Amino acid sequence: MSESSFELEVLDVIEETGDARSVVLDPGEHREHFAYTPGQFLTVAVPSDRTGLVARSYSLSSTPVDDGPLTITVKRTPDGYASGWICSELRPGDRLRVLPPSGIFTPKDLDADLLLFAGGSGITPVMSIIRTSLARGSGRIVLFYANRDERSVIFGAALKELAAEHPDRLQVVHWLESVQGLPSQDQLRAFAAQYVERDAFVCGPAPFMAATVAALKELEFPRDRRHQEKFVSLGGNPFETAAEREPGADEDEPAAAPAGPSVHLQVELDGVDYEYDDWRPGTTLLEHLESKGVKAPYSCREGECSACAIRLLEGEVTMRANDVLEDEDLADGIRLGCQSEPASEKVRVTYS
Ligand SMILES: Cc1cc2nc3c(=O)[nH]c(=O)nc-3n(C[C@H](O)[C@H](O)[C@H](O)COP(=O)(O)OP(=O)(O)OC[C@H]3O[C@@H](n4cnc5c(N)ncnc54)[C@H](O)[C@@H]3O)c2cc1C
């Protein structure tokens, strides 16, 4: 089991709606590992008789400003394994194995004016952004919040309270499919057209996100003001340690021969410069840094979440998989550290 995962006590399980629960976790003595920015997520290990554990990411709905417990909010997915277990089985007093916060769906400036789009459980990271911006920032916030019907609205009462407390800063527009049907791209564009100078954040079911992002693109929101969080289930197990994953870690299995010539690598991470001469094709940037004992950020390890995003400053890499970066991100030099293998003699990257 990964040394960087922690067992946290479940302080409470709150019924938000018929099919959504907030799980309140105590970071306890591990608080320093659980500092987070609004919009980030935790990855939890859900026990399974079949596979040992199932890893799933859940966004934090709490705000870091009060130094309180960590809260994730989970909506039951039809036939979903982990969400079903969390909503039905988890009780206060239980312990949950958790990876520290991760993710880049987070405002760079809490004073910025924000245009937020949430569909269903997509409200979770958005709620943390709203709570934090209202408490610490000065910008104006408008939330377009789509749900199937009134009973499905998570955090309805909390949003009403916040909007009443901050009438000049927070406006919440509820869109109910039961009343108005699904929001179309044209309707989303007409709404967003009033706020084209703002930073946009979008989180929700895939069709809702696709329509909203298309509307923002029509309005020519630049990529750096268009943020999206995709809710997908992880296929792999980020709780395994690098040593457990290493092909040669098993004594009966010979270590894989290095593939290709060694590459000169320069990495800037958290203000520290690292330099190596032995990175090779066949090993990802994340694996190489881990083999050197460098704690580089990651979460899914599958090219799905962008917690490991880097910017390429020099040279080339190839990515094994990429389900999250858009063409504009690639053109800006953004790559995924967990998927990048060297493709030039010298590579220079930064995590900032
Ligand atoms: C960055 C990020 C943030 C997210 N934030 C949120 C959030 O805030 N709130 C939220 O609700 N969701 C969130 N999600 C989505 C969440 O991670 C899950 O995708 C979602 O809860 C569905 O997972 P599930 O296991 O319930 O369903 P599924 O993934 O659909 O479950 C079915 C899968 O489980 C497997 N399975 C079934 N039974 C077993 C078993 N006994 N043992 C092992 N495997 C089994 C099946 O083979 C199948 O692959 C987020 C996702 C990401 C990437």
Q: Residue 34's pLDDT is what?
A: 96
| Residue entry with tokens 């389900």 | 323
Q: Residue 250's pLDDT is what?
A: 47
Q: From the CB of 22, is ligand 1 less than 6 Å away?
A: no
Q: Residue 253's pLDDT is what?
A: 47
**Atom of ligand 1 lying closest to residue 72 CA:** 8
Query: How large is the average pLDDT for residues 61-67?
Result: 95
Residue 81 CB burial class (10 angstroms; 0-12, 13-18, ≥19):
middle
Distance 41 CA to ligand 1 centre (A): 14
Helix axis angle for 123-136 and 156-165, nearest 10°, is 20
β-bridge partners, 312: 349
Same fold yes or no, 6-98 and 114-229: no
Question: What value does the mean pLDDT of the chain take?
Answer: 92
What's this model's pTM, rounded to 2 decimal places?
0.88
- The structural domains of the chain, with segments of one domain joined by +, span 6-98, 114-229, 258-350
Residue 3 CB burial class (10 angstroms; 0-12, 13-18, ≥19):
exposed
Q: Which two tokens stand for residue 8?
A: 């946290």
**What superfamily in CATH does domain 6-98 come from?**
Translation factors (2.40.30.10)
Three-state SS string across 45-104, please?
Answer: EEEECCCEEEEEEEEECCCHHHCCCEEEEEECCCCCCHHHHHHHHCCCCCEEEEEEEECC
Q: Residue 3's pLDDT is what?
A: 56
Residues 139, 142, 146, CA angle at the centre, nearest 5°?
150
Distance 84 CA to ligand 1 centre (A): 9
Q: From the CB of 155, is ligand 1 less than 6 Å away?
A: no
Q: Residue 305's pLDDT is what?
A: 80
Q: Taking a C-beta distance cutoff of 8 angstroms, is the pair 122, 41 a contact?
A: no
Q: Taking a C-beta distance cutoff of 8 angstroms, is the pair 320, 343 a contact?
A: no
Nearest-CA residue for atom 4 of ligand 1: 58
Q: Which DSSP category does 132 fall into?
A: H
Confidence category of residue 341, pLDDT binned at 50, 70, 90: very high
**Atom of ligand 1 lying closest to residue 61 CA:** 8
Q: From the CB of 231, is ligand 1 less than 6 Å away?
A: yes
Report d(CA 23, CA 41) in Å as an integer. 13
Q: Which two tokens stand for residue 37?
A: 């920015």
**Atom of ligand 1 lying closest to residue 20 CA:** 11
H helix or E strand, kind and range, residue 10: strand 6-17
Q: Which two tokens stand for residue 332?
A: 């800006």
Dump pLDDT digits (tens) for 124-143. Answer: 999 999 999 999 999 999 99
Pocket test for ligand 1, best of 99, 233, 237, 306 (most atoms within 8 A of CB): 233
DSSP 145-169: EEESSGGG-TTHHHHHHHHHH-TTT
Q: Taking a C-beta distance cutoff of 8 angstroms, is the pair 199, 227 a contact?
A: yes
Q: From the CB of 75, is ligand 1 less than 6 Å away?
A: yes
Q: Which two tokens stand for residue 147?
A: 């749900």
Q: Which CATH architecture has domain 258-350?
A: Roll (3.10)
Pocket test for ligand 1, best of 43, 44, 48, 54 (most atoms within 8 A of CB): 54
**Atom of ligand 1 lying closest to residue 85 CA:** 26
Confidence category of residue 246, pLDDT binned at 50, 70, 90: low
Q: From the CB of 45, is ligand 1 less than 6 Å away?
A: no
Confidence category of residue 193, pLDDT binned at 50, 70, 90: very high
Dump pLDDT digits (tens) for 300-321. Answer: 788 888 889 999 999 999 999 9
Query: How large is the average pLDDT for residues 276-295?
Result: 94
Could you confirm whether domain 114-229 is CATH 3.40.50.80?
yes
Q: Taking a C-beta distance cutoff of 8 angstroms, is the pair 287, 278 a contact?
A: no
Q: Taking a C-beta distance cutoff of 8 angstroms, is the pair 318, 344 a contact?
A: no
Pocket test for ligand 1, best of 57, 203, 229 (most atoms within 8 A of CB): 57
Distance 284 CA to ligand 1 centre (A): 26
DSSP 3-state assignment of 328? Answer: helix
Q: From the CB of 73, is ligand 1 less than 6 Å away?
A: yes
> Number of helices (H) and strands (E), helices first, in the chain?
9, 18
Dump pLDDT digits (tens) for 98-117. Answer: 999 988 899 999 999 999 99
**Atom of ligand 1 lying closest to residue 229 CA:** 1
Q: How far is CA 220 from CA 3, 194, 214, 271, 327, in A?
A: 44, 13, 10, 34, 15
DSSP 3-state assignment of 305? Answer: coil
Q: From the CB of 82, is ligand 1 less than 6 Å away?
A: yes
Q: Residue 223's pLDDT is what?
A: 85
Confidence category of residue 251, pLDDT binned at 50, 70, 90: very low
Dump pLDDT digits (tens) for 11-37. Answer: 999 999 999 999 999 999 999 999 999
Q: Which of 44-53, 236-245, 265-274 has the lowest mean pLDDT?
A: 236-245
Q: Residue 171's pLDDT is what?
A: 98
Dump pLDDT digits (tens) for 143-189. Answer: 999 999 999 999 999 999 999 999 999 999 999 999 999 999 999 99
DSSP 3-state assignment of 157? Answer: helix
Distance 81 CA to ligand 1 centre (A): 6
Q: Residue 239's pLDDT is what?
A: 87
Q: From the CB of 322, is ligand 1 less than 6 Å away?
A: no
